[in-house]
Structure 1
Amino acid sequence: MSLYVHFRKEEHPFVDQVLEWKELVLDQYRPKLTDFLDPRQQEIVRSLVGHQDDLHVSSWGGHSDAERKRILLYPSYFEPDISDYDIVVFELEYPSKFITIEHRQILGALMNVGLKREKFGDILNNDIRFQVILAKEVADFVKWNFTSVGKSKISLREILTTDILSLKEQYTHLEVTVSSLRLDTVIAEVYKLSRSKVKPLIESGFVKVNWKVIEDPSFSLQVNDVLSVRGKGRCEFVSNNGKTKKDKWRINVRFPK
């Protein structure tokens, strides 16, 4: 049986990439550090590597609760250290008494300077303080080019990983009943939107599943999928609790508070 049957079609190119990383580590007997990967990609890497005596996997995203992480694939002789993940953390300095900035503005500003999403990890904040976790190889580029967020001028100050903001994410849970596990059906119920409004959102590229834009309203969801709708927030499909007497699915989702 092909290993591809365990993954969605849109994940096959990433599966091929992981297999190349594995081959490189085993053939050249040296570690391979990835860019920042989202949680689904991290899961795929770990499932493909499995438990092997001669190949190991570890990950780090700058802090213990990181969502996006760099993964290190390495041979058995290698003993990884935090420094091997090549991560730099910057804190934004800006006139916080006079200016308000938001997470989405920072994300947009980083993309606008030409930085690829896989080159930076989590963006942390406590409403006033903001921190950005970056791949070391782009740190100088970011420091020189990332100088504004919205209308506010900013500067960056490098900090130690021990000074990273500690943010434990909390959730609210919601159980909904849906006629099918189609993307448009679930979004309509979870976000309390009409199907007529949901379809254009999906087809316009405003919806992501597992951090990837999905433009097919009939896309079938699975447990552990993470959904995000632009302007409506993000949620995770936590569990499928079976069917009702009317043959509908009872599913549980959770939203970050």
Structure 2
Amino acid sequence: MPHQEIYEHFHPDEKAFVDRAWEWVERAAERHETKRTDFLDPRQAHVLFALAKRHPDAAIRLDGGYAGAERKRAIIAPDYRPLDAEDMGIAVLDITSDDRRISELDHGDYLGALLGLGIKRDKIGDLHVRDDGCHALIAEEIAVFITGQMRQAHRVEVSVGVLPLPQLREVAQTLEEQVLSVASLRLDGIASDVFRLSRTKIVEPIRAGRCRVNWKTEENPSTPLRAGDVVSMKGFGRFKLLEVEGVSKSGRTRVRIGKFM
């Protein structure tokens, strides 16, 4: 169990993960055990990294399969163990089809097809979607199961194979940019404009814990956003505040937003 002061640095909703992560760190440092985690989102990776750095006898490596990965697996080990050569257990799932409709599939279609097999989200890393298919980074231990079970993605028949990491075809994530004039930099104000909802309708999911800012749960609608912040709203999507361009003569603030596609 972490010391009580550690919890002060994290949101109450993160307590269960903090407990698990601290146990991994303690086992590595004090029992000389090595732990390879499932895929972590950036917030979980930050929490685990911060906890590992609190213990002088623990070492950590984070890797998502390529340089710009968002979701990553971690290895936590005793500090004397070199981690650069450790196998991260990541494979590339190659999803293709002869059906021309495959070009219409998006990130949600492929992710939905994988989750529909009963696979936990933690076993899936980043997805790279192209017009002719998708490369999905997955935990190698589920590769055989997926190739034996996955036959469709959103009603499109697909073929599935496994490739080594060097054959990953990266696809840069695209953002649909827009410039908004907002009354303030409050979370609820900007989110309501981005998702085209009234402020009343956007406040409810925020207060219900369905919003994350930089992958950390945020329940305060009045929280001010800053350039670089990534906001995700369950059921609505996510966006990034790219730039605060300035204040107009009328007192409104111009911001540039990138909506993840």
Assess if the C-alpha contact under 8 Å between 1:180 and 1:248 holds in 2.
no
Q: Which residue of 1 aligns with 2:113?
A: 109
State which of 165, 172, 183 in structure 1 corresponds to 2:169.
165
Q: Which residue of 1 aligns with 2:98?
A: 95
**Number of equivalent positions:** 255
Shift in CA distance, 101/240, structure 1 to aligned 2, threshold 3 Å: closer
Shift in CA distance, 218/147, structure 1 to aligned 2, threshold 3 Å: same
Q: Which amino acid aligns with 1:86?
A: G
State the TM-score, normalizing by the size of structure 1.
Answer: 0.80
Alpha-carbon distance in structure 2 between the residues aligned to 1:245 and 1:21? 54
Q: Which residue of 2 aligns with 1:195?
A: 199
Displacement, 1:209? 4.6
Unaligned runs of 5+ in 1: none
Q: Which residue of 2 aligns with 1:147?
A: 151
Displacement, 1:27? 2.1
Q: Which residue of 2 aligns with 1:61?
A: 64
Displacement, 1:249? 8.3
Superposition pairs of residues 26-65 of structure 1, within 5 angstroms: 26-50=29-53, 53-65=56-68
State the TM-score, normalizing by the size of structure 2.
Answer: 0.79
Superposition pairs of residues 6-17 of structure 1, within 5 angstroms: 6-17=9-20
Assess if the C-alpha contact under 8 Å between 2:206 and 2:221 holds in 1.
no
Alpha-carbon distance in structure 2 between the residues aligned to 1:241 and 1:10? 34
Secondary structure at the aligned position of 2:22 is classed as helix
Q: Which residue of 1 aligns with 2:82?
A: 79
Assess if the C-alpha contact under 8 Å between 1:227 and 1:235 holds in 2.
yes
Alignment root-mean-square deviation, CA: 3.6
Q: Residue by residue, what CA displacement relative to the aligned partner does 1:83-131 show, whole Å, maximum 9, x if unpaired?
A: 5211111110212435432211111111111100001101112232301
Displacement, 1:30? 2.5
Assess if the C-alpha contact under 8 Å between 2:99 and 2:156 holds in 1.
no
Alpha-carbon distance in structure 2 between the residues aligned to 1:32 and 1:244? 53
Secondary structure at the aligned position of 1:71 is classed as strand
Percent of matched pairs sharing the same residue: 29
Shift in CA distance, 71/175, structure 1 to aligned 2, threshold 3 Å: farther
Secondary structure at the aligned position of 2:162 is classed as strand
Alpha-carbon distance in structure 2 between the residues aligned to 1:83 and 1:174? 45
Q: Residue by residue, what CA displacement relative to the aligned partner does 1:171-194 show, whole Å, maximum 9, x if unpaired?
A: 54757645463x433311344432
Assess if the C-alpha contact under 8 Å between 1:89 and 1:161 holds in 2.
yes
Secondary structure at the aligned position of 1:92 is classed as strand
Secondary structure at the aligned position of 1:121 is classed as strand
Unaligned runs of 5+ in 2: none
